[in-house]
Amino acid sequence: MLAEFLDTSDEWIYPRTGVKSRYVISDEKLEEMAIEAANKALADAGITAAELDYIICSNVVNEYITPQLSCIIQGGIGATCPCIDINCACAGFIYALDIAESQYRAGRVRNVLIVCAEEPTRMPDWADRSTSVLFGDGAGAAVLTGGDNIKGISLSSASATDKLYQKRTLQPTPYITKEEIDIPLQMKGQDVFKFAVKASSTDITKILAQNNLTANDVDHILLHQANIRIIHAIRDFLKQPDDKFPVNIESHGNSSSSSCPILLDECRRNGRLLPGDKIVLSAFGAGFVSGAALIEL
Ligand code: UT7
């Protein structure tokens, strides 16, 4: 389909990215997907919306500048608790876990809903083959309840704002004299690739060391699904077998912060995750920001 209007081909896209197909939003709204994911997670957790103490929504873009997406989700699921949006690009799920964990440790919450909802296919210029072939839309949600399953979280940021960005114009004021233009998603792909491999490898190594573990002790390493070659480079750095790295990039593309919770849910539903398993989640994205979390089931 892409090759019909772009100078590209499956022969280029698949080996370079690992993407075969992905989901692209049409007339449905992102908030509808977010609410559906939230309701499914609540049902799976056996928690009602009324029992939630906090909702964190990770999102890079959606149609609303205000109100926040988390408030729309709150209304959609019938919750009454405080809610907050974060934009930590593709690393949003890990940053949301960190906020939830901090709130829990502070004794302020028992049950937290994290919803990652992303429509990155609406960011690039679809005539730009270097970006438009990469992304897929989706929403993933998780409910966190009391416990000590999160063994550690490591976050890092390294400002490099010209590597991956998008700019939009706002309403003019009488005082703005310079011309403003919308700039669709811009990406220096190779720089982002190198950052991703280094940041993720560093984050994972750090979190394992903090817990006196090595990669050999971990059962599953769930990486942000940005490019299969990034996943393979991190796998090789960690010297771990391929089967420790579940992947779904082939059918989803890069769904930004939704990528980790969607992959986590797929692993859970296909019986891959067993009680006692140790999981590392690691994600990276624009900013740059990155983070890893160690979870014991
Ligand atoms: O969630 C975080 C966000 N982003 C990422 O993680 C992306 C990280 N980067 C990447 O995944 C890779 O850098 C890309 C997949 C984006 C690009 O792969 P690459 O191996 O780094 O390719 P490149 O940018 O060096 O481009 C190689 C060639 C260029 O042509 P020339 O200059 O060698 O003639 C590009 O113009 O491939 C060309 N090219 C394409 N050709 C066909 C770039 N995109 C395409 C395309 N189809 N879609």
Separation CA 60–CA 135 (nearest Å): 13
Cβ(192) – ligand 1 distance below 6 Å: yes
* C-alpha to C-alpha distances, 117 to 73, 217, 237, 278, nearest whole angstrom: 10, 32, 30, 26
Active site residue 90: yes
Residue 215: what pLDDT?
97
Give the pLDDT score at 293.
98
Give the confidence band of 88 by pLDDT, cuts at 50, 70, 90: very high
* Start-to-end C-alpha separation, the chain: 41
User: What is the SS3 assignment for 282?
Assistant: strand
Give the closest residue to 131 by CA, choosing from 94, 86, 186: 186
**Tens digits of per-residue pLDDT, 24-58?**
999 999 999 999 999 999 999 999 999 999 999 99
The atom number, within ligand 1, closest to the CA of 131 reads 16
Contact call for residues 291 and 283 (beta carbons, < 8 A): yes
pLDDT in the model for residue 202:
97
Query: Ligand 1 mean position to 227 CA, how many Å?
Result: 10
CB neighbours of residue 140 within 10 Å: 28
H-run or E-run covering 57:
strand 54-58
